[in-house]
Chain A
Amino acid sequence: MKIHIPTPLRTYTGGLETVSIPGATVDGVFQQLTVTYPELKPHLFTPEGKLRSFVNVYLNDDDIRYLEGKQDTAVKDSDELTIIPSIAGGNEFVTGLALLAIPIKS
């Protein structure tokens, strides 16, 4: 099945935006993905093997976290997986510059 790789992780897939990986379940495909492209693994999974909290994975249009079978969900060759890191932020304000401006006790 096709897996779409986000811009920052293409460094680890030889620049490829889309890779084809065989597998019967989401988990199986991911296992094979990290065998084929081992450098991807620490960017997708914690040392305990859990998907990093900021990494979203969509099977076609569905977040795998909300699928009934989660990572054990069966997949077909015609399905597509999209890996998409989260994007968020806001102006709660302590910047690097502000930190530098904190007076140091002498």
Chain B
Amino acid sequence: MLRIEYADYEALRAHGEETYPNECCGVLLGKNIAGEDDSPAAINHVQQIVRAGNTRTDSAHNRYNIAPQELVKIQRQARSFSLDIVGFYHSHPDHPAQWSTTDFAEAHWLGCSYVITSIEQGKAATTNSFLLRGTGEDDKKFEDEPIQIDIPANLAAAAAHNQKGSA
């Protein structure tokens, strides 16, 4: 499962809208809370998202790449906060929020979450998360994973109030 604060979830979706019609990308920092026997109950708990630049300026509408040098810096940043890289996010402009063959071929961070947001005509639509499971390149696979969005109590109360008001 991917667990993320509402503000971070909205921020990564907004990033995709800002870079439309190009793909956005970024890194999810947090902690992996392992389930028993590496069961699917393992949680990648996001505590910070970091925007990254897309180096694929030659084909930014359907490709993304984070410069390794930038990843090194982000990993250093994570370490300074006692956090780990637990996943990545990117957008699919005018394409579904499903992993592609390119996404799969280029996925090497086993145990990490790969979050994809479809951006339809500039607006964030669906956001899905896929956990890269396996022990290596030969048996890796993407699994659909649920996303738990933590909504602050005040926002949740306001939403409930609004719902009552419109009922």
Contact = CB atoms under 8 A, between A and B. Distances in A.
B49 interface: no
Interface in B65-111: 65-66, 68-69, 71-72, 75-76, 79, 84-86, 88, 90, 92-93, 95-96, 98-104, 106-111
Interface string A4-37: 1011100100000100000000000000000000
B129 interface: no
A48 interface: no
A69 interface: no
A86 B100 contact: no
Describe A's contact surface by its main secondary structure: mixed
Size bin of chain A's contact surface: 20 to 34
| Residue from A8, A84, A89, A90 with most neighbouring chain B CB atoms (10 Å) | A89
Interface of B: 23, 25, 27, 32, 56, 59, 62-66, 68-69, 71-72, 75-76, 79, 84-86, 88, 90, 92-93, 95-96, 98-104, 106-112, 114, 136, 142
Interface of A: 4, 6-8, 11, 17, 42-43, 54-56, 58, 61, 63, 82, 84-97
